[in-house]
Amino acid sequence: MENQMKDFLLKHKNKKINLLQLERAVPSIEYEPFAELILSLEKQKVLQRIHKSGMNSKNPTLAYRYIINKDKILQDIKAVILLAKKNFHPSIELDIYLNKSIEKWQIDLSYLKKLNTYIKTYGFPTKRALAHERSYEIFQDANYITEGGGRTLLENTKVWNKLLIWPVNNPVSFGVNMQALSNDTHLHLIVENKDTYYSLLPVLQNSQFTTLLYGEGKSIISTIDIFPQQLPLPNATHKFFYFGDLDYMGIEIWYLLRQKIEIQPAVPLYDAFSHHHMTIGKTYQRKNEVAMSEFLTYFSPQQQSSITELFKNGGYYPPGILKTEDLQNIMNKGKWGI
C-alpha cells in the first residue's frame, strides 16, 4: 500500500496535495490504516503538513493539505537500485529504474532475477534463437518476450542485442523488381499508405527501384529490422526513400526510421503535393522540432518555405491526393540520385 501511494505521489503533477486527493488514491481502505499510512509518510518526510490549512477532527489527526517531497521518494528508489546493482551481472543496466516507481521495480524484479540467473549461469548465447525459445530459456515463459513486455525489459536493461533473439517483429510486406537484383546499388521505396503501395506496384518492374515496401504506418519502424534477412543482399549498396503523409506524424515516422537506417524523404513524390490544394486538419498531432528540422534539409529553400507555410496554416497533404498516373510517372522518371 505504501509503495502504491508513493507511486501515486510521484505521478501527481503539483507539489501540493489535499487530503481528499490522498484518500482517493486508496479508496478501499478504512480511515485508521489510511491515517497510519499518511503518518508513516510524514515520518519519512515524503509528506510535509501545511499547518495553516488546518487539521481534521478525526483520530489520528491529519492535515488538510500536504507538500510532496518527490526527491525523498526518488532517493528511496535510488537506494534500492544501487543495492541491487551489487548483486546483478554488470551487463544488466538498471539505471532506467531510477526514474520509475518502486511499484514498477517490484513488478519487473522477478523477471530481472531470472535474467540475472540466466546470464550468470550460461553467459550470452552464441547462436540466434526464436523469441519464444529464448523467452522460455530465460524466463520459463515462452510468451513473455513477445506478449508480456519482455522485449522492453531487455532493451531497457541493454541486453537485447546480446541475447541474439530472432525474430520478434512481423515481416515487411514488399514487392521485388527481379530485374534489379543484380545491380550493385539498390533503391528501396517505403510508402506509408496502402493505396499508394498498390498504385505503384504495377510499375515497379519498370522502375529504378529494387523493392517497394508497404510501411503500414508506424509498424515499419519495428518491421524494418527483419528486412535484411528477407532480402539478403549484404555486399550491395542500399538507398532507402520514404513517402508518407506530409504531416507531423508522417515526418516523425521517417525520423524514427532514420535512427535505424539511412533513409531520405522521397523528395520527387513530396514535391508533387505542391500542385494541389492542402487539406486542413490533424491539429491534434504534436510537432517534433528535431524531426522537422532534419526533414527540411533534404528540400530546396523554396520547398522548405512551402512546407513551413503549410503547417503554419494548419494544413497537411495525404498521399491519396495524388493520382495513380502521377505517382507512377514520378516513380519511373523522378530524379532519385543514382
Residues 301 and 209 in one domain: yes
- pTM, entire model: 0.64
Q: What is the pLDDT of residues 7-29, one digit of tens each?
A: 889 888 899 999 999 999 988 89
Quick one: pLDDT at residue 222? 87
Is position 113 within any domain?
yes
pLDDT of 167 > 80? The answer is no
Q: What is the pLDDT of residues 61-78, one digit of tens each?
A: 999 999 999 888 888 888
Residues 6+ apart with CB under 8 A from 324: 199
Domain that holds residue 307: 173-333
Residues 191 and 329 in one domain: yes
Query: Residue 223 carries which side chain, given as an amino acid letter?
Result: T
Residues 152 and 117 in one domain: yes
**183 vs 187: CA distance, rounded Å:** 10
**How many CB atoms within 10 Å of residue 123?**
11
**216 vs 169: CA distance, rounded Å:** 13
Residues 180 and 296 in one domain: yes
Please report, to the nearest 10 degrees, the dihedral formed by the alpha carbons of residues 192, 195, 196, 199 taken in order. 150
Q: What is the pLDDT of residues 301-315, one digit of tens each?
A: 999 999 999 999 999
Residues 157 and 257 in one domain: no
Residue 274 φ/ψ region, left for φ over 0, alpha for ψ in the -120 to 50 degree band, beta for the rest:
alpha
The residue assigned the cell 518476450 is 145
Q: How many domains does the chain have?
A: 3
Mean pLDDT confidence for 180-191: 95
Domain C-terminal end among 107, 128, 163? 163
Is position 338 within any domain?
no
Residues 97 and 144 in one domain: yes
Q: What is the mean pLDDT of the chain?
A: 93
- β-bridge mates for residue 18, sequence order: 65
Residues 312 and 204 in one domain: yes
Q: What is the pLDDT of residues 25-46, one digit of tens each?
A: 988 899 999 999 999 999 999 9
Is position 168 within any domain?
no
Residues 196 and 324 in one domain: yes
Residues 259 and 120 in one domain: no
Tell me which of 286 and 189 has the higher pLDDT: 189
Contact 323, 276 (CB under 8 A): no
Quick one: pLDDT at residue 325? 96
pLDDT of 173 > 70? The answer is yes
Q: What is the pLDDT of residues 122-153, one digit of tens each?
A: 999 999 999 999 999 999 999 999 899 999 99
All three cell numbers of 281: 486538419
Quick one: pLDDT at residue 155? 94
Residues 143 and 245 in one domain: no
Q: Where are the alpha helices (DSSP H) in 12-69?
A: 19-25, 31-43
Please report which confidence band the pLDDT of residue 84 belongs to, taking 50, 70 and 90 as the band edges. very high
Domain C-terminal end among 17, 41, 68? 68
Residues 156 and 183 in one domain: no
Q: What is the pLDDT of residues 215-239, one digit of tens each?
A: 998 999 989 988 998 999 988 999 9
Please report which confidence band the pLDDT of residue 338 belongs to, taking 50, 70 and 90 as the band edges. low
Percent of the chain with pLDDT over 90: 80
